[in-house]
Structure 1
């Protein structure tokens, strides 16, 4: 079998990949039974990959290594599957199989996205973002017209969770923020970024709002060209826009600051929090999760078995991974990501792509504090992009398909 890394050895239909990618991420947490569209499309992608591999006798080394690295944390849970200490062995096995399936899909989709030429990739992400923004704005209009602003239900677009919607919107638009200087459709890119900021803000998802501003700040140099032809003015306008947005959020009465204040009360005055509040529950899950982790330091308690100890899952990926397979799983899951972060951080003359990967890692490490992501297909795809991009950059430092 040929393990060549030549990205032009296989031709890809980038539009097909773009559409599959869009449907995959947009149906993952959709209401009703549309969730299963993921599985149908996933099997189609896996089948296509197996057929092309068989016919071409070709598979990239980076895909194999990425899949192995992403699966490494499952070694202890795999051994632990025969243990009598598992409260629910069936859900442990089920979640493990699903995660492995997601890893397989993730490395395949990521390989496709990184192998198509730059122009096709840029155009593809423009198409993805335009479709996503238009659908989201349409659903927001329905949300407003049906009295959603006056209700307690937060806007979540076409998915059933506002955090998932805001996360997908942030990740999709992040590509435009970093690569817009190389994209032909400058005005479209600008409208995508502005619309994405609005859509994330109306979800009131604190971690994604912080994540989005983090992306804007790191990618501000690339964002400059959207505002003016003169470099100095571009820089000033970009920085002013970001700072003004942050200032307005911090100094005015708004639902975002109200939610942020409640979360900060965890550290300042936790006694005033209601037991049903999100901030209180997340703090409880972390503290109780750490205690359970200490008692099961090496083996954990099994994948998704935390719900039997905490009443529900932990809402924290660090805690969830540690509880799933102990200290080894925690190190195996985050160790490679931190090493890649250090690798890109040390690069003196960073390309746009290396900054982009660096930002994705920082965003994930931050996001995982407030969400469980190992079982989220979008984050599995993003993690696969990080691994494969790193492996390609090591083997092909001047690869034009990455830079």
Structure 2
């Protein structure tokens, strides 16, 4: 509420504030219900992955076979935007792997693996650079659950896949090349309507707005009203959560928003062995998903504004809430362990 007085458009600021507050309170309620209910999440992870894969695979079939085009022209599954689809799909993958059952039949194992590969394929089909970055993060983090030999095979597979994407003529390699041109500063050779040019433009614009309003920002979702897209008569959110938070409320809001996330992420790293050795498998599953979810967030926040996407708010809130739950469980377990050792 404090930043309302400094908002460029107070009505827009208050509208976004009400919506995001509702998202956060709803997410806290859901997190508390799911965690404290002792619900066996591993019983539902397989079904969740299968339903998600099937629903979006049908849309992918319609996209390629019957020329079904979403509003923005790219495959985006059940969502309006390919980045939201790619991020959500990666989170579904993370949830399914983290909470998978300990014992699978051979048939279930094949179905599970097939669904994972299909989901990765759909992320690639979306041509989302955010999705590709997230895939690398997931492959890297989950590879540590495997033996060294399997880990090397995965890294080799990812390397060969990326190499094929880069050296063959396909829409993804074209996007990667264009983004490479943008990153190295040669934006004059890009069309001002293509994604690579716009990303650089939005980053530069966001930095300028943040520098001019570093203490209190310009209000939630107000940065879009301070500039126009090249060749258009309207602006946009900055497609970068770090910049959107910084321009919305300056340094104070940036600290308030990201400090709990950094604290939760660092606590998870520091206490992984304790959670694994002293707590139940369900609690370690919570640890694993929370770590994956927060790691992904720090990556996709570089290329997407996530604070007003409901499912992304839910997963991040669930992860932070899990940390405080695990902290209390670990404290109780350590007390019991000391008492048992003492006697």
Task: Please give the TM-score of this superposition, normalised by the length of structure 1.
Answer: 0.71
CA contact under 8 A between 2:209 and 2:247: conserved in structure 1? Answer: yes
For residue 248 of structure 1, report the CA deviation from its aligned partner: 2.4
Equivalent of 1:395 in 325, 328, 339? 328
Which stretch has the larger CA shift, 139-148 or 172-181?
172-181
Q: Is the 8 A contact 2:240 2:305 kept in 1?
A: yes
Decide whether the 8 Å contact of 1:86 with 1:302 is kept in 2: yes
Q: What pairs with 1:301-340 in structure 2 (closer than 5 Å)? A: 301-310=218-227, 311-340=235-264
Return the alpha-carbon distance in structure 2 between the equivalents of residues 328 and 152 of structure 1: 35
Classify the secondary structure of the residue corresponding to 2:226: helix
Runs of 4+ in 1 over 4 A off after TM superposition: 231-237
CA contact (8 A) 2:217 2:250 kept: yes
Residues 137, 298 of structure 1: CA spacing in aligned structure 2 closer, same or farther, 3 A cutoff? same
1:246 aligns with one of 162, 172, 175: 162
C-alpha contact 2:165 2:172 (8 A) present in aligned 1 = yes
Cα drift, residue 236 of structure 1 = 5.0
How many matched pairs? 312
Work out the CA distance in 2 between the residues paired with 1:187 and 1:234.
17
Question: Take 1:200 and 1:156, find their aligned partners in 2: how far apart are those partners?
Answer: 9
Q: Distance in 2 between matches of 1:390 and 1:157?
A: 31
**Alpha-carbon separation, structure 1, partners of 2:213 and 2:154:** 49
Query: 2: distance between equivalents of 1:398 and 1:219?
Result: 27
Residue 340 to residue 101, structure 1, CA distance change in 2 (3 Å): same
Quick check: 1:110–1:384 contact (8 Å CA) kept in 2? yes
Q: Which residue of 1 aligns with 2:183?
A: 267
Corresponding residue SS for 1:90:
helix
Structure 1 vs Structure 2 CA RMSD = 2.5
CA distance in 2, matches of 1:235, 1:89: 51
Which residue does the alignment assign to 1:143? 63
The aligned counterpart of 1:192 is 115
Residue 212 (str. 1) matches residue 135 (str. 2): yes
Give the deviation of 1:179 after TM superposition: 4.1
| CA shift in 2, pair 1:116/1:267, >3 Å | same
Equivalent residue, structure 1, for 2:299: 366
Asked whether the 8 Å contact 2:23–2:313 carries over to 1, the reply is yes
Q: How far 1:152 sits from its partner (Å)?
A: 8.4
Q: How many Å apart are 1:116 and its aligned residue?
A: 4.5
Cα contact 1:307–1:313 (8 A) shared by 2: yes
> Under a length normalisation based on structure 2, what TM-score does the superposition of the two structures give?
0.83
CA contact (8 A) 1:306 1:313 kept: yes
Cα separation, 1, equivalents of 2:160 and 2:119: 17
Judging changes above 3 Å, is the alpha-carbon distance between structure 1 residues 238 and 283 closer, same or farther for their aligned structure 2 residues? closer
Q: Is contact 2:46–2:100 with CA below 8 Å preserved after alignment?
A: no
Question: Shift of the alpha carbon at 1:187?
Answer: 2.6
SS in 1 for 2:76: coil
Give 1:344 deviation, angstroms.
2.1
Query: Which segments of 5 or more consecutive residues in structure 1 lack a partner in the other structure?
Result: 1-77, 225-230
Q: Which ranges in structure 2 are unaligned for 5 or more consecutive residues? A: 228-234, 277-283, 334-343
Q: Secondary structure of the equivalent of 1:219? A: helix
Q: Is 1:378 matched up with 2:311?
A: yes
Tell me how far 1:240 sits from its aligned partner: 3.8
